[in-house]
Chains A and B, each alone.
Chain A
Amino acid sequence: MSILLSKDTRVLVQGITGRAGRVQTQWMLEYGTNIIAGVTPGKGGEVIEGIPVYDTVAEAVAEQGAEASVFFVPAPAVKAAAIETIDAGIELLVVVTEHIPVHDVMEIKEYARGKKIQIVGPTTPGVITVGEAKMGIMPANMFTPGRIGLISRSGTLSYEVSINLAAGGLGQSTVIGMGADPVVFTSMPDLLKLFDGDPDTDIIVIVGEVGGIQEEKAAEFIDRWVTKPVVAYIAGLNAPQEKRMGHAGAIIRGDGKGTPQSKIAALREVGVDIARYPEQVVDLVKKHLAQS
């Protein structure tokens, strides 16, 4: 099934009655996603795109066996909704919502710690297991089925890299947008671990960017644990300091942390091939495939 999501995963859409939730539900269904329920408090009993809507996540779990949930919940409502979802025993939560206060994200993250749930995001385009199912807003036609696991901090760059791979005759097993916020629920090492253990993935591609230390932590993890080849591309070589590059988390702080140079050096040090531009990812992946 590649990682996290398959065509059989029973998916719940929270915030299904909103504008974005409704449209994206239609597109996820068209892709083949097994959406079995929606939740919007106060809208229980409605039917959206043929999908029954419940007031609570617990009902969606009890009556439809929901296993995973994708959030189109407005930012101020996310904390309460996430706690409800964790309590209901959902195993995968994809938080598409942008602009969630970082203190709320920290509270949710702590609440989820030690529980059997994997949360992707926030501010993520989502998760797509190519050719099977998608949870989120990524346009389906950017991806081609294949055996490359793709982890990206940027939505548009996951498209750019995937389209270039397709032009080179290559495709992806699962593509994950980690989310563009400074604090994310699932780290790059967490995702590397999942891909490394996935029989449908032969090689892992990381698309990083300036800000934070996810890539540096990924390098430490790769050095100790990852057995599959890893190729990386880091965006923002020319980003000025102390300026937010569109994403809340894409900022080189005054203390000098989060520079692309530090990320590239850390990854290169542990044997990761670094692509200078997205297009070059294709050559590096091909080089590894030729060696194996």
Chain B
Amino acid sequence: MKLYEYEGAELFKRGNIPVPEFALATTPEEAKQQAEAIGLPVILKAQVLTGGRYLAGGVKTVHSLDEVQPTAERILNTKIRDLPVRRVMVAASVEVAREFYLGVTVDDYRGMPLAILSAEGGVSINRIAQERAESVVSRPVSISRGLELSDTRQMCRQVGLRGKDMAEVSIILKSLYEVFRCYDAIIAEINPLVRTKKGAYLALDAKIEIDDSSLYRHTDLDLKIDERITNPLEREGREIGVSYLELDGDIAIIASGAGLGMTSMDVISQRMSPANFLETGGAITEELLYKVMGLVLRKEGIKGLFINVYGGINPIHEGARGVVRYMKEHDVNIPVVAKALGNHQEETWEIFRENGVHVVTDVSTEKGVEMLARLLEGGR
């Protein structure tokens, strides 16, 4: 789960990573009061879970108190990559002398934490790594040993930092690693960390993503998951316990696994256009598929439905009952094609056939999609 900048900054404070004084505002009036308390100039920053805030006008430095309210109002009314801005961070503005990049992430393939330091910050770390590789160093970390100050000092030296820069940055990088470990982060990033003209070292941004699987042991963080999923259908999918993603097309998909869902999308995309990705996982019941039907058919203009399920641990005959019950109760009259194989396949086929679902008994997803395409071309 991605954290908002202000949530990340709070974790930084807990982890002894210095951040500029800041407060959070949900209205322009609040922003003005906070700017007054913090002292001008302040920087107003839209709190959204996406990049591109600067280009979208979501970050503005304000020098006079009169400007705070209108600027905050503009930011609160901006949409950044389609995301509404609900909160604005009001932070003390500082004069920057130098910028650095600090990050800790998971090296998936090695299965180890990876500490990253760049002597330059403020822009994309990938760009720095490509254009000036000598400015960037990354170091896999033994998770049982941890990242020591001696390691981070060496990293600082490798990118040419000396003196106070080395001393301060090495401490903050070690602290960032501790935050990463303490909160089960999969990404913890400061871009940029700055040295101010007054000689202070401050994290001017906070990007943290926490491993969803670890949230059970971080209940103290009080992170609201639902608010982060802005698509209402995706939120509903999460509530009923399936993975749903909305796509642009008009052919709905129900699959019993992630891989099978992706394959269904790929095959459908050849000649039609998928309306969604949906995978049920291994917990199919009649009730679940009844709800899933309501979810995938909710979008306007759905032309057809493709069901692709395996009866392994899933009782697909029970799932089929949920599908046909939904169709009856809601008078579904688009073509529905089902490929259902494995345990209880014959029973499943019978339930489907008796209720107007077209059953593919062939083992290939392509054949199923072909059938759906023919039904759509032929009209009904």
Contacts and interface: CB of A to CB of B under 8 A. Distances in A.
Nearest to B112: A106
A278 B263 contact: yes
A207 B365 CA distance: 15
Contact of A245 (B126, B277, B281, B366): B277
Contacts of B241: none
B214 A142 contact: no
A154 B257 contact: yes
Interface stretch (B65-73, B155-163, B287-295, B305-313): B305-313
Contacts of A110: 111-112, 142-144
A213 B216 contact: no
Interface string B113-155: 1000000000000100000000000000011100000000000
Contacts of A142: 310, 312, 342
Interface in A172-225: 180, 182-185, 187, 207, 209-210, 212-214, 217
B178 interface: no
A183 B109 CA distance: 6
Given A103-B181, A155-B257, A159-B312, A249 B108 contact: yes
A145 interface: no
Interface stretch (B25-33, B265-273, B320-328): B265-273
Contact of B256 (A156, A164, A167): A156
Contacts of B279: 246
A240 interface: yes
Given A109-B111, A156-B255, A213-B109, A141 B343 contact: yes
Given A139-B343, A163-B363, A167-B363, A157 B263 contact: yes
Given A102-B106, A102-B214, A155 B259 contact: yes
Contacts of A214: 109
Contact of A277 (B106, B212, B216, B267): B267
A187 to B, nearest CB: 7
B366 A279 contact: yes
Interface residues of B, number: 53
A101 B184 contact: yes
Interface string B186-208: 10000000000000000000000
- Chain B interface main SS type: mixed
Contacts, number: 173
Contacts of A125: 312
A239 B213 contact: no
Interface residues of A, number: 64
B343 A160 contact: no
Contacts of B111: 105-106, 109-110, 183-185
B171 interface: no
Contacts of A279: 363-367
Select the residue from A106, A255, A277 with max chain B CB neighbours within 10 A: A106
A254 B366 CA distance: 31
Given A160-B263, A209-B259, A277-B263, A141 B213 contact: no
Contacts of B343: 139, 141
A247 B213 contact: no
Contacts of B355: none
B265 A238 contact: yes
Interface string B96-116: 000000000010110111000
27 contacts: A76-B217, A101-B214, A102-B186, A110-B111, A111-B144, A125-B312, A139-B313, A142-B310, A157-B260, A160-B259, A160-B263, A164-B364, A167-B364, A180-B258, A209-B258, A209-B262, A217-B109, A236-B265, A245-B262, A246-B258, A246-B261, A246-B277, A248-B212, A255-B126, A277-B366, A279-B364, A279-B365
